[in-house]
Structure 1
């Protein structure tokens, strides 16, 4: 067995985001509590094997930042009503988060949570990370939707970060 090269903090956070999207999808479909989902992922899906780095398909595995992963999953599930309210306000008229596909809703919720609660992560990083994640799941217009919605939410929540009043 060969040692994996050390992953950067940014790579470990990217892997945590990707795993969190999957966990949020599972949580919504199974209706299991966030703590159970985090425990299952930690015990069985993130058990030293890591998450495949989609930008490097040569079987490099990235060990996710487990604390960041748990914060995303637990934070989203705790604040889902507030997150959906922000998402709904950023969607086109007559659209709500309930009309979105479950993975897309999970991506938007996680991104919105980071914009709302993780001021240690720059707005542009959050948006880029979740647009990239959307590209992993979707081929069509969904990544553009993720970009537009998170940009609108970011301009509301982080106006000072982009020089708006």
Structure 2
């Protein structure tokens, strides 16, 4: 491998953090729909999904620490995050009425807004990319961008 082929510093860490966010959305969705416990879902993801190889290709190895923190914070602050999300949504569409994948996404992103020092723009961009992965043909990524912008302004007004 030549120096031009070497991975860029931080690239793998960035990919691992992006994978952890995606896995957190999937895990929150799974927890809501299967009534699986926090510990059981974490064990399943860390043992069977991180770095797994599927027909579509290899999934990135996730940042286990970030994944665990996002799940813990989303669960522990769910009421606050859901209230922030509700305030960002139109009155006739409370969080309980939106797509469950989007609900999981808003909870994971909300956990980062509430409990991390990750820059707001990074959080929004990461979760809009996740929305694009789940809804490649839809308007959901734009919707996610607008809702997350509103949530960020409430959670981190100093960033604006």
- How high is the TM-score relative to the length of structure 2? 0.86
In structure 1, C-alpha distance between the alignment counterparts of 2:155 and 2:39, rounded to whole Å: 27
Structure 1 runs (4+) greater than 6 angstroms displaced: none
Count of residues in Structure 1 that have an aligned counterpart in Structure 2: 151
- How high is the TM-score relative to the length of structure 1? 0.84
Q: 1:9 to 1:150 in 2, by over 3 A?
A: same
Residue correspondence of structure 1 range 30-69 to structure 2 within 5 A: 30-46=34-50, 48-49=51-52, 59=57, 61-69=59-67
Quote the residue 2:120 is aligned against: 123
Quote the residue 2:78 is aligned against: 80
State the Cα distance separating 1:38 from its structure 2 match: 0.5
State the Cα distance separating 1:76 from its structure 2 match: 0.9
Quote the residue 2:16 is aligned against: 12
Segment drifting more, 145-154 vs 75-84: 75-84
**Unaligned residue ranges in structure 1 (runs of 5+):** none
Instruction: Indicate which of 106, 128, 131 corresponds to 1:134.
Output: 131
Please give the root-mean-square deviation of Cα atoms over the aligned residues, in Å: 2.1
**Unaligned residue ranges in structure 2 (runs of 5+):** 1-6
In structure 2, C-alpha distance between the alignment counterparts of 1:32 and 1:63, rounded to whole Å: 23
Q: 1:51 to 1:108 in 2, by over 3 A?
A: farther
